[in-house]
C-alpha cells in the first residue's frame, strides 16, 4: 500500500450540487493517506537530520491497526520496533478516546521521526478542554480495563510529553525511544 493517493474529482451530477443538505456516507474504514509532509529539518544529537513521515487517520477505533502498521513500516529496522508500535497504539487510542478526534468527523495525525539510535513518534489530536494527558500510576493488581496507557508510555520510552500543536488545533502527545548499535 502506498503512502500517497491521487486527489478525487468532484461529482459531475448536477443534482448533487443543489442547496439541499447532503447526507454524508459512513466514513471509510481505511485511513486517509497523506503524502509525506515537508518538515523543517532539525539536527538531532550526533549531528544527523531525522527522517520524517506523517499520516492522517480518521478518528475510528478500527484505525489503531493502521497506526501500528504505519509505525512498523517506518521503524522496520529498529530493535525497538515492538515497543514503538505498542506505544504509538496507546497514544492513538487515547486520541480517539479522550479528545475531539474521536467524534463523528474527527481525525488525528501520526508523525514518525527517526535518526540513528533514536526515534520519536508524535500523535496530534484535536484536543480536549476537559483533561490533560497524564499517567494514572495504577496499582498492578487493579483490575480496571482502562488507565494504563500512559503508564506504559512513561515506563517504556526514554522520554515523553504533551504540548499544544503548533497550528493551534489541539495537542500532540509524543514519546522518544533510544537504542545502541544503530549504524545507519
**pLDDT tens readout for residues 55-77:** 999 999 999 999 999 999 999 99
pLDDT value at 19 more than 50: no
What integer is the mean pLDDT of 121-142? Answer: 67
pLDDT value at 151 more than 70: yes
pLDDT value at 123 more than 90: yes
Percent of the chain predicted with pLDDT > 90: 43
Strands (E), the chain: 51-58, 107-115, 118-125, 159-164, 171-178
Alpha-carbon gap, residue 146 to 139, rounded angstroms: 12
What is the model's pLDDT at position 91? Answer: 94
What is the model's pLDDT at position 148? Answer: 63
H-type alpha helices, 28-183: 64-74, 81-98, 149-156
Name the range with the highest mean pLDDT among 3-7, 19-23, 56-60, 142-146.
Answer: 56-60
CB atoms within 10 A of CB 28: 10
Higher pLDDT, 115 or 151: 115
39 within 8 A of 52, measured Cβ to Cβ: yes
- Does the model's pTM come out above 0.75? no
Amino acid at each position: 500500500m502506498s503512502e500517497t493517493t491521487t486527489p478525487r474529482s468532484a461529482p459531475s451530477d448536477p443534482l448533487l450540487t443543489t442547496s439541499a443538505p447532503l447526507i454524508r456516507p459512513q466514513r471509510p474504514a481505511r485511513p486517509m493517506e497523506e503524502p509525506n509532509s515537508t518538515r523543517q529539518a532539525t539536527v538531532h544529537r550526533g549531528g544527523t537530520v531525522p527522517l520524517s513521515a506523517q499520516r492522517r487517520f480518521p478518528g475510528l477505533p478500527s484505525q489503531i491497526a493502521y497506526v501500528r502498521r504505519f509505525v512498523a513500516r517506518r521503524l522496520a529496522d529498529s530493535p525497538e520496533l515492538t515497543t514503538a508500535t505498542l506505544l504509538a497504539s496507546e497514544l492513538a487510542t487515547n486520541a480517539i478516546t479522550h479528545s475531539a478526534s474521536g467524534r463523528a468527523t474527527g481525525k488525528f495525525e501520526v508523525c514518525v521521526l527517526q535518526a540513528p539510535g533514536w526515534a520519536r513518534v508524535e500523535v496530534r489530536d484535536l484536543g480536549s478542554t476537559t483533561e490533560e494527558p497524564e499517567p494514572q500510576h495504577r496499582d498492578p493488581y487493579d483490575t480496571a480495563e482502562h488507565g494504563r496507557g500512559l503508564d506504559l508510555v512513561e515506563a517504556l520510552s526514554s522520554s515523553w510529553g504533551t504540548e499544544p500543536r503548533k497550528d493551534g488545533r489541539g495537542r500532540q502527545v509524543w514519546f522518544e525511544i533510544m537504542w545502541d548499535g544503530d549504524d545507519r
